[in-house]
């Protein structure tokens, strides 16, 4: 199986308190999954570990079949990973919306003209062209989320880590996001408390427990889903 993320026996603590142990997770190429669990159980922490923003304490992590043993090894993977932070204010790289969305594209070396065109298309796709000249810090919470999302999507990452992507979005925008994520042919890990949303977007939902992840739902492929007792095709 071609895997974007492969985690084995990961254990994590924060401030000396064990959040979970023995987390094992495979996210295959183009698979969309969600991670749920109560406040403070460590969902964001897990995304940070996958993104290389937090060191791995115990266990192993491979991204695209490459072992990630140190934060340095994540550097070669950064361009493949798009991370939407829970707090959009942590995401912005430039004060004006269109400059912020184009920032990483320009940093990757594409021409100003191409970056401008791609940015305009991205803003249009998300229905936020009217925000192009606005100051990011003057936007509403939902508008900030959409601009941050535009900055992630425009890089066409192979793995997207989305932390509470629907926070602050009204119903019309949630539906637009469901449509956009449905069209994306990439691996996506969504952390969310928004059950109705994730059920429409992902194939599997994993719940974090102190003793690992349990796959609570497999919505799109009922006959081939994961159980703690092993992975094999079967039906109930």
Ligand X SMILES: Nc1ncnc2c1ncn2[C@@H]1O[C@H](COP(=O)(O)OP(=O)(O)OP(=O)(O)O)[C@@H](O)[C@H]1O
Interface contacts to ligand X, rule CB under 6 A: 14-15, 19, 37, 39-45
Of 43 and 204, the one with the shorter C-beta distance to ligand X is 43
Of 126 and 208, the one with the shorter C-beta distance to ligand X is 208
Of 129 and 209, the one with the shorter C-beta distance to ligand X is 209
Min separation Cβ 112 and ligand X, Å: 37
Min separation Cβ 90 and ligand X, Å: 12
Q: Are 119 and 102 in contact (CB under 8 A)?
A: yes
Of 124 and 211, the one with the shorter C-beta distance to ligand X is 211
Geometric angle at alpha carbon 91, from 194 and 111, rounded to 5°? 120
CA end-to-end span of the chain = 23
Min separation Cβ 168 and ligand X, Å: 14
Q: How far is CA 138 from the centre of its chain?
A: 25
Min separation Cβ 131 and ligand X, Å: 26
Closest CA to 21 of 215, 154, 211: 211
């Amino acid at each position: 199986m071609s895997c974007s993320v492969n985690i084995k026996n990961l254990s994590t603590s924060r401030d000396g308190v064990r959040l979970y142990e023995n987390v094992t997770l495979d996210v295959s190429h183009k698979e969309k999954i969600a991670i749920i669990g109560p406040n403070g159980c460590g969902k964001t922490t897990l995304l940070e570990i996958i993104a290389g923003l937090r060191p791995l304490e115990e266990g192993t992590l491979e991204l695209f079949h490459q072992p990630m043993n140190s934060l340095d090894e994540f550097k070669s993977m950064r361009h493949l990973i798009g991370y939407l932070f829970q707090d959009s204010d942590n995401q912005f790289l430039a004060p004006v919306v269109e400059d912020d969305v184009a920032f990483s594209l320009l940093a990757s070396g594409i021409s100003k003209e191409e970056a401008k065109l791609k940015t305009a298309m991205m803003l249009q796709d998300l229905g936020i062209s009217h925000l192009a000249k606005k100051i990011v810090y003057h936007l509403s919470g939902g508008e900030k989320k959409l601009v941050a999302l535009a900055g992630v999507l425009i890089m066409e990452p192979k793995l997207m880590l989305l932390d509470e992507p629907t926070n602050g979005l009204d119903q019309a925008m949630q539906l637009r996001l469901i449509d956009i994520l449905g069209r994306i042919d990439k691996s996506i890990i969504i952390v969310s408390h928004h059950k109705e949303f994730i059920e429409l977007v992902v194939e599997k939902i994993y719940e974090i427990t102190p003793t690992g992840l349990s796959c609570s739902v497999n919505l799109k492929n009922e006959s081939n889903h994961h159980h703690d007792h092993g992975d094999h095709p079967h039906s109930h």
